[in-house]
Chains A and B, each alone.
Chain A
């Protein structure tokens, strides 16, 4: 029997309504995620990574308009759920570690109590003692001393707060977790610890994970497969090794050549000309064409379809590598 994807995003198209018009933030994005898989979503600021994450949890801001698409979690379209049903699914089936999560803890409540709050909502049948035990287990899982349960957020260091937020996301044993730049505000040594912890927990619990980052080095270390985003479109998707060894989309290649590394020979870094486009008026055809050194006439006129270029390797480019 073929394994069914846990999460299947189909043709997701989302716009933000602003005073100046509609901003095309996510344009026709599709991808599948298998149980236990970790997918990296990489791209620059404003490319739609966080917008997708928020849409998956149905937490998009009020001015977001979903034009088209489906978000199938275990075959059930999250976009068709009522708000009440969605509230049951959120945290219990799909949860999220937010950007700058270190500041997303409430300073006036004990950290343990904030995690118990999630359990109160979703697993209220448990006794108070059992809930506390759950939190202790979660703390152990992410590597925090269980004595810290009754402490306040300001008594935690940045890295520990981040772990606590991860513990909170895991509280109701979701099958899917979204991590949105969870280590961006941390120093390298602490970042390394949090990344290892997250990867270990994800494998141990056999969860699916979407890891969002602008840092391709971090993505290279945590993800099994990578989706590269540019200006609201997914431009390439393949397993991690393929993306790094043989990228087909010109933007992916440019992104890799612009990224500095401390290992290996010091190669020349190639800068990309121009700036990312204004999504109020996205460029015609391929959205990357104004910055692409290999654009052909067709790139200006027609939007390249997201097609399979190899086994499990998808790209949207008229003039691929």
Chain B
């Protein structure tokens, strides 16, 4: 088999249902379909941005891919040499070994770093957990990485605590911690949304450089399409647990197919007062997908709805794009 065609990550029919309990004594009858039958591939060295409004299931997808949740159904394959290994079937030692290859960067660098650990202890902790290297080797590795993420001179950061660092520096520490076990794939959940504009650009550029240097792939979770444009080659738009559209970033932004993607793009403010945007044609907010009807999830809000939309739309593939809408059937 040609290795070029094996993706780094392949997700098939992934589902995550959370029970809605009305009382602690009663068995749940209703389920939130947080992630409902999604499929995608991430090629080696490429990144996919997962965008959508709050509550659409993007963070749940991230947590499934790092196996912080066990999915209700479906498979998550990770490339291992020429094979694909299903992470859902892993347990115990093999699951722990897999965590070397998949890491996560969280949104809030004020919450995700332990305030009682020094920067050295924070970044070296994954090595300790995975029993990698001697103390000296670990120290060398931490120093190299801190320099790589732009915390220079590394020596002056090693024995400081998170509260002594700025937000941007903390997020760089979190990135170093994720990279220390040399993963291939990183789930980054809104890694720059807490940072100021002037700092954010630097962290985004760092993540892109690291991906190019180390051959990393990201699943970049964000609510901000402009950030997605600058972080990933592909964008997947999520709506109520479904991926409604996926495609190459520039193509999708200039020519969205799904009515929801169109609305999302037209709602983004433009940093240029000379351009007047058309308001999006949809109203209201996203609701919770509790036992949704078997029809298009976007039905109630869609300005283009017609009779076929009463049934669940198929996933239509064309020109390397994927769209889940009857209009394009």
Q: Is the CB of B201 within 8 A of A258?
A: yes
Q: Least Cβ distance of A120 to chain B in Å? A: 32
Answer yes or no: A83 CB below 8 A from chain B CBs: no
A192–B282 Cα gap in the complex (Å)? 11
Q: Is the CB of A189 within 8 A of B280?
A: yes
- The answer to whether A256 and B271 touch (CB under 8 A), given A196-B279, A262-B226, is yes
Which listed residue, A217, A245, A272, touches B269 by the CB 8 Å rule? A217
Q: Is the CB of A276 within 8 A of B196?
A: yes
Q: Is the CB of B199 within 8 A of A261?
A: no
- The answer to whether A191 and B271 touch (CB under 8 A), given A214-B197, A258-B201, A270-B201, is no
Q: Which of A220, A273, A291 has the most CB of B within 10 A?
A: A220
- The answer to whether A158 and B285 touch (CB under 8 A), given A188-B268, A189-B280, is yes
Q: Least Cβ distance of B208 to chain A in Å? A: 10
Which listed residue, B273, B280, B286, touches A192 by the CB 8 Å rule? B280
Answer yes or no: B202 CB below 8 A from chain A CBs: yes
A298–B205 Cα gap in the complex (Å)? 32
Q: Is the CB of B227 within 8 A of A260?
A: yes
Q: Is the CB of B198 within 8 A of A244?
A: no
Answer yes or no: B166 CB below 8 A from chain A CBs: yes
- The answer to whether A272 and B198 touch (CB under 8 A), given A187-B53, A192-B279, A262-B265, is yes
Q: Is the CB of B204 within 8 A of A269?
A: yes
A221–B229 Cα gap in the complex (Å)? 21
Q: Which chain B residues border A188 with CB–CB below 8 Å?
A: 53, 223, 225, 264, 267-268
A192–B267 Cα gap in the complex (Å)? 6
Q: Which of A254, A264, A271 has the most CB of B within 10 A?
A: A271
- The answer to whether A275 and B166 touch (CB under 8 A), given A262-B226, A269-B205, is yes
Q: Which chain A residues border B169 with CB–CB below 8 Å?
A: 275
Q: Is the CB of B197 within 8 A of A259?
A: yes
Q: Least Cβ distance of B265 to chain A in Å? A: 7
Q: Is the CB of A244 within 8 A of B274?
A: yes
Quick one: closest A residue to B198, CB to CB?
A272
Answer yes or no: B250 CB below 8 A from chain A CBs: yes
Query: Total contacts A to B, CB within 8 angstroms?
Result: 121
Quick one: closest B residue to A226, CB to CB?
B273
Quick one: closest B residue to A220, CB to CB?
B273
A60–B282 Cα gap in the complex (Å)? 40
A139–B268 Cα gap in the complex (Å)? 26
Q: Is the CB of B197 within 8 A of A44?
A: yes
Q: Is the CB of A187 within 8 A of B285?
A: yes
Q: Is the CB of B201 within 8 A of A272?
A: yes
Question: Of residues 260 to 294 in A, which have CB atoms within 8 Å of B's CB atoms?
Answer: 260-264, 266, 269-273, 275-276, 291
- The answer to whether A190 and B285 touch (CB under 8 A), given A218-B269, A262-B268, A269-B230, is yes
Answer yes or no: A157 CB below 8 A from chain B CBs: yes
Answer yes or no: B183 CB below 8 A from chain A CBs: no
A318–B41 Cα gap in the complex (Å)? 53
Q: Is the CB of B272 within 8 A of A189?
A: no
Quick one: closest A residue to B169, CB to CB?
A275
- The answer to whether A241 and B267 touch (CB under 8 A), given A269-B201, A271-B201, is no
Q: Least Cβ distance of A102 to chain B in Å? A: 12
Answer yes or no: A208 CB below 8 A from chain B CBs: no
- The answer to whether A217 and B279 touch (CB under 8 A), given A269-B230, A271-B205, A275-B166, is no
A196–B283 Cα gap in the complex (Å)? 13
Interface string of B245-256 (1 = CB under 8 A from A): 000001001000
Answer yes or no: B210 CB below 8 A from chain A CBs: no
Q: Which chain B residues border A261 with CB–CB below 8 Å?
A: 226, 270-272
B interface residues (Cβ-Cβ under 8 A, vs A): 53-54, 166, 168-169, 196-202, 204-205, 223, 225-227, 229-230, 250, 253, 263-265, 267-275, 277, 279-280, 282-286
A interface residues (Cβ-Cβ under 8 A, vs B): 44-45, 157-159, 187-193, 195-196, 214-218, 220-221, 240-241, 244-245, 254-256, 258-264, 266, 269-273, 275-276, 291
25 pairs of residues in contact across A and B, judged by CB atoms under 8 Å = A188-B53, A188-B267, A188-B268, A216-B271, A217-B269, A217-B271, A220-B271, A221-B270, A221-B277, A244-B272, A255-B198, A258-B197, A258-B200, A259-B226, A260-B227, A260-B229, A261-B226, A261-B271, A262-B229, A262-B253, A262-B265, A262-B270, A269-B204, A269-B230, A272-B199
